[in-house]
Amino acid sequence: MAKDFQIDKRLLLTCREAAYACGVDPKTWRMWDGLGIVPQPVRLHKSVFWRRLELVQWIEEDCPRRKDWVWRPNQKMKELYSIFPK
């Protein structure tokens, strides 16, 4: 079952993956994170990730700055559940 789960279906993206998904270099993404341009990352121990569904919604809403951004996960729950294999 784990082999069937594709990378593009993962819920959390690394800095590099988030950057490439948005068409920028990871160095630029880290700079934007430091400036508060991209959504707040999720920190798990020493690792930093961005929620894939949050990035999709953030882009759909024209990439507002972090201080103006409000993620509404309930709007994306149907999509969230649809990515898991049955």
pLDDT in tens, 12-56: 999 999 999 999 999 999 999 999 999 999 999 999 999 998 998
Q: Which is higher by pLDDT, 86 or 20?
A: 20
Q: In this structure, what token pair is assigned to residue 72? A: 């509404």
Angstrom distances, CA of residue 7 to CA of 4, 40, 48, 69, 74 = 10, 21, 17, 26, 23
CB 76 within 8 A of CB 57: yes
pLDDT at 7 over 70: no
pLDDT at 68 over 50: yes
Q: Is 75 exposed, middle or buried (0-12, 13-18, 19+ CB in 10 A)?
A: exposed
pTM over 0.95: no
Strand (E) or helix (H) holding 29: helix 26-35
pLDDT at 81 over 70: no
